[in-house]
Amino acid sequence: MMMRLALDKTLPVALGAQLRGLIEYGIACGEIAGGARLPSVRELADAIGVAPMTVSQVYRDLKEAGLIHGRPGSGTFVTDRGAVGDSDARMAAFLQRVDALIDEGLAIGLRSGEIAGSIGARLSGRVARGRTKVVVLVGTFPVAAASYARSLAAALGPGTTVEALTVDALQRREAAMQRATAADLVLTFAHRRREVAALLPHQRVAAISFIPSEDTRRGLASLDPRARVLVVSRFPEFLPVIKAGVEKFAPHVSAVTAALLDGPDLAALLGACSIVVLSTGAEAALEQLPVGVRAMEYRHVPDPGEIERIVIPLLRDPDSPAIQPDRKAS
């Protein structure tokens, strides 16, 4: 359908500037959808009553800005902004990593031919085996994120490499930002998706749920009914969640109390319990652990169901946007 654009010749604004502004605003506000075919120069010029040269110049300006692009033999189309951003950012990150690799090779004394030969050999082998997908798992704590990444890698199989990063690393280290930008997909917790997506505006960021690990469930189920359990969390909002989880998987244990890591009564409660269940991030409580008191971590793993439902389809379709509905942290 012909674009419905109305130019106001009474305004002290050149018609070409008006036309460009109307198209830009239409794209920015979603009134002109990504992938939409624009009228030809002649069609648009006749429809709005301006010279074809004016429309041609506007189209050239919009192409330079990356808002539209031409397809030989098909016409002019609105560019998908997300795809452009992903492509540009991923290419820039890739080239930076190539430069860093070359610099590293030169620094250890390799000649240019040796560097090129090594890269060529590795590339040939990788192509022969098939390209490995790269997933970045962004967590809060390094040790826990690494554990989640290992679980995810085991579920996805040998065709996928999973790297663990933290939000703090993305904020502070350029190298971490580059690795996340160059990945095929970034995964994180539902309650951190917006934050991670803001740090990686040109990357696909998906949220998946995390459930108590089998080791956690089995460990709680095997507790002695006479155990005096203390649940410790670093974050106030997670303390009732972890305590409820302990009561769910150890319903036979009646003595379950809870405390915050920085709570004034922590030392006294540690002295009165027989086993401490620590939420991720509360490991500092181990420094105050009395002799004879056992400790276990309430550890989570990526939800296998959501790996099948969310992660695998996104890896199969590299052009699919990873926009997930906001959910409460599990």
Q: What pLDDT sits at residue 199?
A: 92
Question: What does the alpha-carbon distance between residue 100 and residue 49 come to, in Å, rounded to a whole number?
Answer: 54
Give which of 98, 237, 243, 252 is closest to 178, Cα–Cα. 98
CB 135 within 8 A of CB 162: yes
What is residue 33's DSSP assignment? -
At 298, which helix (H) or strand (E)? Answer: strand 294-298
Confidence class for position 150, pLDDT limits 50, 70, 90: very high
Q: Which residue has the higher pLDDT, 29 or 256?
A: 256
- Token pair belonging to 175: 């190298």
Question: What does the alpha-carbon distance between residue 33 and residue 44 come to, in Å, rounded to a whole number?
Answer: 17
The residues that bridge with 18 in the sheet, in sequence order, are: none
What is residue 317's DSSP assignment? -
Residue 208 pLDDT > 90: no
Q: What pLDDT sits at residue 286?
A: 92
Question: What does the alpha-carbon distance between residue 260 and residue 300 come to, in Å, rounded to a whole number?
Answer: 19
Sketch out the chain's domains with CATH numbers.
15-79 (1.10.10.10), 85-211+310-316 (3.40.50), 214-298 (3.40.50.11590)
At 41, which helix (H) or strand (E)? Answer: helix 41-48
Residue 172 pLDDT > 70: yes
**pLDDT tens digits, residue range 228-251?**
999 998 887 778 778 888 988 999
Question: What does the alpha-carbon distance between residue 289 and residue 293 come to, in Å, rounded to a whole number?
Answer: 7
- Token pair belonging to 244: 């409820």
Span 144-154, average pLDDT: 92
Q: How many angstroms separate the Cα of 189 from the Cα of each of 203, 219, 220, 318?
A: 16, 24, 24, 21
